[in-house]
Chain A
């Protein structure tokens, strides 16, 4: 890996690095649980992305702002408390302003608390960096997560229902069209395949992301991660 986590970089790099070079889902394989669960439709993926971006940006900023005050012994508890509060706020806002969507996402908004990306960035970045670059780092990682979610969500909705954001894209066979929706795409496991292909594509493009093989490579090691 050329760039380590938390090394010095300009603001633009801090923001853009998590999109492709250190994408939290595709490179660090974090936050995959929610990426499987909420990507059945593009609308749900977008809502979840917005919620995560807000929580992650705010939690990174808040934790960075008080990083000198947090005693080491309770730092994880403090981080989780802050993250949990922000997640509750995000959940409440969704319940008030996007009720249908919050019902669809059900527990997964609340589960942002346990999303490894949030705590990972708090502990790995915000505890050691200034407020401004931590905010950018949170935003960047949130967008990196969102990028994958939106790609997976679009793929699944398009192939699973022939629609995008609920609007018809392909003429579905049941309504006399040519497109036969793929039922599997509506189930969570399909997100595994889509994310797998995404990682494969990303690592074929940016070959430096491929980990060095400790032993003789297995034939399926590259595509199946």
Chain B
């Protein structure tokens, strides 16, 4: 069966022609497949993102209760323009990639150091928020938050009640904090403290944060602050700063005011 392969059929023109036709056929094959399968893949990705959010959120006991009745709630991803707090519905949440937008000068702003509490350098103009609806009632909004921690970026989600001022939960899904110290920001004993904390006082001052001192549960600041993690001052500071940044004027302030009113 074995016979000599095209050894005699050399020649530059022929080689080019074969190369070009192989490339053409292969690219048609690949493009057709990608085009044909894209809708299915996007649906898969969206489901996965939803599942991740559910998994993250369900770690919070208060939220787990709500999500136990999953069929009744409906999680909607919306794109929000941070400056105005309005929906940017002309952008498909599936297409929006916040990490790419953060790097693109056309889609982000550079933050001057004095405003850049979270130390993220640039902030995208748009953000994806997740709204949890039960029928016609908004139950919860889930906001992505991020900031530079002790060792690496900390990324998580802040769940806020529909009043726009009460924390329902805070979870971090990505961080590089020291295991056993700052790494405890993902431990239930610590994140459970956030439930019920207020973001702002009546005058609108942002007071949410991590307390550096022993927190007296009867003190007025206990309504806004949680206990810090011993030995993880930098991590605790980073969490305070990233929260204050993202609920503040450069973050979701306009959006939270809008849903709260």
The interface of chain A, by Cβ under 8 A from chain B, is 6, 8, 66-75, 77-78, 81-82, 84-85, 88-89, 92-93, 95-97, 99, 103, 127-130, 133
Q: What 0/1 pattern do residues 20 to 57 of B give for CB contact below 8 A with A? A: 00110011011001100100110011011000000000
Among candidates A78, A128, A133, residue contacting B18 with C-beta atoms closer than 8 Å = A78
A92-B5 CB under 8 A given contacts A71-B15, A73-B15, A78-B19: no
How far does the Cβ of B212 sit from chain A's closest Cβ, in whole Å? 39
Which residues of A sit under 8 angstroms from B1, Cβ to Cβ? Answer: 8, 128-130, 133
B218 interface residue (CB < 8 Å to A): no
A99 touches B41 (CB 8 A): yes
B113 interface residue (CB < 8 Å to A): no
B95 interface residue (CB < 8 Å to A): no
How far does the Cβ of B184 sit from chain A's closest Cβ, in whole Å? 24
B7 interface residue (CB < 8 Å to A): yes
B15 touches A74 (CB 8 A): yes
The CA of A84 and the CA of B40, in the complex, are separated in Å by 22
Which residues of A sit under 8 angstroms from B29, Cβ to Cβ? Answer: 85, 89
How far does the Cβ of B12 sit from chain A's closest Cβ, in whole Å? 9
Q: For the side of the interface on B, what is the size category?
A: 20 to 34
Among candidates B6, B41, B44, B47, residue contacting A69 with C-beta atoms closer than 8 Å = B6
B10 touches A95 (CB 8 A): no
Among candidates A89, A96, A128, A133, residue contacting B5 with C-beta atoms closer than 8 Å = A128
B37 touches A92 (CB 8 A): yes
B9 interface residue (CB < 8 Å to A): yes
The CA of A88 and the CA of B23, in the complex, are separated in Å by 14
B26 touches A82 (CB 8 A): yes
B261 interface residue (CB < 8 Å to A): no
Can you name 11 extra interface pairs (CB under 8 A) apart from A73-B15, A74-B18? Answer: A6-B2, A69-B6, A70-B18, A71-B14, A71-B18, A72-B5, A74-B15, A78-B18, A78-B19, A96-B37, A99-B41
Who on chain B is nearest to A128 by CB? B2
B37 touches A71 (CB 8 A): no
Which residues of A sit under 8 angstroms from B18, Cβ to Cβ? Answer: 69-71, 74, 78
Which residues of A sit under 8 angstroms from B37, Cβ to Cβ? Answer: 92-93, 95-96
Which residues of B sit under 8 angstroms from A92, Cβ to Cβ? Answer: 33-34, 37, 41
